[in-house]
Structure 1
Amino acid sequence: MALRVVMFDSCDPEFDLAFEEALARLRAKDMIPDTLRLWRTSRSVVLGYFRSAEEDVDLDLAGRKGVPIIRRFTGGGTVYLDRGCVNYSVVIKKDVEFPVSYLYGTILRGTLAALESLGFSPYLRNANDVVVGGRKVSGTAASIRWGVLFLHGSILFDADLGMLRGLLRVPERLKPSVDPVKYLVANLSEFTDSIDAGDVMDALVRGYSEVLSEKFYMDEPMEEELNAAEILHGFKYSRDEWNLRLPSYHLRSIEEGIEKELRSWVSNPQRSPSPPRV
């Protein structure tokens, strides 16, 4: 089986995050094969599923700078994205005994292999933080939902670290259990000027092809993925109820609306999706 590789972004961070979840949901329905997605997007703050916008983000600065705050469907910490970040997502269906260990202990080696091929000496801290030269250059998050394994991360290549540090709140005093490296970030461009974002993407393709022991082929986004992402964007990723409020009972109606619309669309794919307008 070959690994499908899609290089796609919409330049709309809300839609780009909706597309991430669309990949997982459609892989669960066997509507797409195992896929590696590579993408970049405009500046935004992305909250982990359980994170609080008030605790993690300078909301005044985000408002003044017009930086959207979006919640993703996976856990982990809050991150800053812009065109200087190279993002990747891996969605696969595979029966493994310990899925979390497999995602972070095996699949994530694709990122390490990619950076090694570019001349870096990366290593893991805290299971999912990729470190080069004592500073964090990439964070990852994972999900095991709908019967699929999903891993995604962001590599700081030439991001605006001043904006990152301004937008993301750092606790004044770290708990003993928190590794300080989580807040010591660096761009890859600080270590070399001989590679660009395209080189990082190419290396990720080779790295994940190697780790998954699969040849790869390049592909375009399928209409099914774009339609599913449109549904998720309308019901979820464009709405403050999802992005700014901590997950609670109110999400039940959002999830019910998504499932109903997806079922209706899958049973009649010729019909255009009709998510609610907000």
Structure 2
Amino acid sequence: MLCINNTNVDPYFNIAAEEYLLKNFSEDIFMLWQNEPSVILGKHQNVPAEINLDFVQENNIKVVRRFSGGGTVFHDMGNLNLTFIETNSNINFDKFTQEIVDLLSELGIEAKSDARRAINIDGLKVSGSAQCVHKGRAMFHATLLFSSDLSSLVATLEGDPEEAENKDKASKKVYVKSVKSPVTNISKYVPNSFDINDFKKFILDYFRKKNEENKIYAFDKKDIINIQNLKEAKYLTPEWNFNSYSLK
């Protein structure tokens, strides 16, 4: 497995990087990454129904639609993102959720997963996930709220109630609606001296040590150019981020 510590915090680049890795690599991959404040929508979601556009614009929060389905999530520098990619068209995605639960247990944190593959501590959500399969390659990605600004998270994800109708009247297709849950930060369950950088190091070490064949990988110049091109051609465009429901 290739282990990637992606230090780029541009959400447009990072969402493009996931699609690039999914479609252009054959190796199994684990990538750890963060985004500056942004809201990440599932592929088949209605933007105004999911987010507070006024709050997003006033606070310079970037809006990005990802390649996978599922619900809308808030990212900031207090949140970590874990991406797993495997060549397996019939994969059991629950194994990745369990992997994260096991990881947290190594820190003495008792976490539980639910039917939607969310992860909860004391009944409060700390991780949401989504997945997709493309030509025999499976991708699972999850958030991990460590020290996120939860007030901004809640404000960002307050969609327009007048947009609650979850159908595209033109195409008659049904949008995917997010399922809201009360949330908390993992930082509440670890010593004060243990910060997000310690958490990042712990996660990277955890996956590197799981298998001696796991290798550190960093994007080379070709990767960066290809990801940048995909970002500009797709993920920076309003057609994809705001009107992509009918796009492929």
TM-score computed with the length of structure 1 as normaliser: 0.76
What residue in structure 1 maps to residue 148 of structure 2?
159
What residue in structure 1 maps to residue 217 of structure 2?
219
Specify which of 234, 239, 245 is matched with residue 247 of structure 1. 245
Structure 2 Cα separation of the partners of residues 125 and 207 of structure 1: 23
**What are the superposed Cα offsets for residues 73-112 of structure 1, whole Å, 9 maximum, x if unpaired?**
00111000000001111111136xx42xx11x21322211
Letter in 2 for 1:65: N
What residue in structure 2 maps to residue 121 of structure 1?
110
1:231 Cα deviation from its structure 2 partner? 2.1
Q: Residues 108 and 90 of structure 1: is their aligned pair in 2 closer, same or farther, counting only changes over 3 Å? A: same
Residues 140 and 152 in structure 1, CA contact (< 8 A), matched pair in contact too: yes
1:11 Cα deviation from its structure 2 partner? 2.2
1:119 Cα deviation from its structure 2 partner? 1.1
What residue in structure 2 maps to residue 44 of structure 1?
38
Q: How many residues align?
A: 232
Q: Which moved more, 1:183-192 or 1:52-61?
A: 183-192
Please give the residue correspondences for 1:37-186 in structure 2 after superposition, counting only pairs within 5 Å. Answer: 37-94=31-88, 98-99=90-91, 102-103=92-93, 105-169=94-158, 182-186=180-184
1:244 partner SS: helix
Q: Which moved more, 1:132-141 or 1:106-115?
A: 106-115
Residues 113 and 207 in structure 1, CA contact (< 8 A), matched pair in contact too: no
Q: Residues 85 and 109 of structure 1: is their aligned pair in 2 closer, same or farther, counting only changes over 3 Å? A: same
Structure 2 Cα separation of the partners of residues 239 and 16 of structure 1: 15
**What are the superposed Cα offsets for residues 48-96 of structure 1, whole Å, 9 maximum, x if unpaired?**
111111001000111111111100000111000000001111111136x
Residues 124 and 130 in structure 1, CA contact (< 8 A), matched pair in contact too: yes
Structure 1 Cα separation of the partners of residues 240 and 149 of structure 2: 26
Please give the residue correspondences for 1:222-241 in structure 2 after superposition, counting only pairs within 5 Å. Answer: 222-241=220-239
User: How large is the RMSD of aligned CA atoms in angstroms?
Assistant: 2.4
Structure 2 Cα separation of the partners of residues 224 and 89 of structure 1: 21
2:13 partner SS: helix
**What are the superposed Cα offsets for residues 146-185 of structure 1, whole Å, 9 maximum, x if unpaired?**
220111111000001111111102798xxxxxxx984210
1:128 partner SS: coil
TM-score computed with the length of structure 2 as normaliser: 0.85
What residue in structure 2 maps to residue 262 of structure 1?
none
